[in-house]
A and B are shown apart, each in its own frame.
Chain A
Amino acid sequence: MVLSPTDKSNVKATWAKIGNHGAEYGAEALERMFMNFPSTKTYFPHFDLGHDSAQVKGHGKKVADALTKAVGHMDNLLDALSDLSDLHAHKLRVDPVNFKLLSHCLLVTLALHLPAEFTPSVHASLDKFLASVSTVLTSKYR
């Protein structure tokens, strides 16, 4: 899957609109994921997953910051996310199916907060972008 120039500009524009809500949206996406897809909680037995959990908020920021980095390096995701790719492959070993679940919840969150921006074209570009990030994060799995 290749990100077209339009995809890249759509993603960058969306990210600009997110402003400094990244951590908040990241946490919301995680909360939605845990609630809608309870199997994803199996990777966080050490977390308090209740509403307003400080750990979920912290992790939401982590996810958002990583995505922001990805947005800044869309021409070279493999290099930019190399460490995270190693982490997911060798330490976290999150089953690949879960990236689709989180990506979906990120899209839901963004659509909710940025309805005017979330046009079909932007939706498609974001979906492609998140799928590309997911592919990179699972690229060293085997």
Chain B
Amino acid sequence: MVHFTAEEKAAITSLWGKVNVEEAGGEALGRLLVVYPWTQRFFDSFGNLSSPSAIMGNPKVKAHGKKVLTSFGDAVKNMDNLKGAFAKLSELHCDKLHVDPENFRLLGNVMVIILASHFGREFTPELQAAWQKLVAGVATALAHKYH
């Protein structure tokens, strides 16, 4: 189980408070689809994903990105019990969505990159380390119920 120090929790929570979840969500999912095009396999119904600009401007991508990142907010509120917080979502991703958990790791890393690009120097190595712990913890929690 991932353990966060009080400082890590405070730092993560403080940064999260400054994130525009809607914008960042769209950007994170969009970048995932651009940088790792095979991840588009889950989104055939999303319409035009034919170029980076099509993907980043696609309203379905933005809407779904917002959904995903809003859910990530639950992780920030439940850092001591990620597996519990994501149990139902884990079952959903396994049984209904059939999403390879590798995608959670890829998305987590995209998120860290976006945070760096948004926050610049404020995103210190220590802060990044805390976030890497969190995204890894979320990926593991989401994969936990896979069978």
Contact = CB atoms under 8 A, between A and B. Distances in A.
A95 B38 contact: yes
Given A42-B100, A95-B102, A97-B102, A141 B146 contact: no
B98 A89 contact: no
B40 interface: yes
Given A39-B146, A42-B94, A95 B37 contact: no
16 contacts: A40-B100, A42-B94, A42-B100, A43-B98, A93-B37, A93-B39, A93-B41, A94-B100, A95-B38, A95-B39, A95-B100, A95-B103, A96-B38, A98-B100, A142-B35, A142-B38
Interface in B56-113: 94, 98-103, 106
Given A39-B102, A89-B38, A98-B100, 19 more contacts: A38-B147, A39-B100, A42-B94, A42-B99, A43-B98, A43-B100, A45-B98, A93-B37, A93-B41, A94-B38, A95-B38, A95-B102, A95-B103, A96-B38, A97-B100, A97-B102, A141-B38, A142-B36, A142-B38
Q: Is the interface of B mostly helix, strand, loop or mixed?
A: helix
Contacts of A89: 38
Interface of B: 35-41, 94, 98-103, 106, 143, 146-147
B98 A42 contact: yes
Contacts, number: 43
Interface residues of A, number: 17
Nearest to B36: A142
B141 to A, nearest CB: 14
Given A95-B103, A98-B100, A98-B102, A38 B38 contact: no
A83 to B, nearest CB: 17
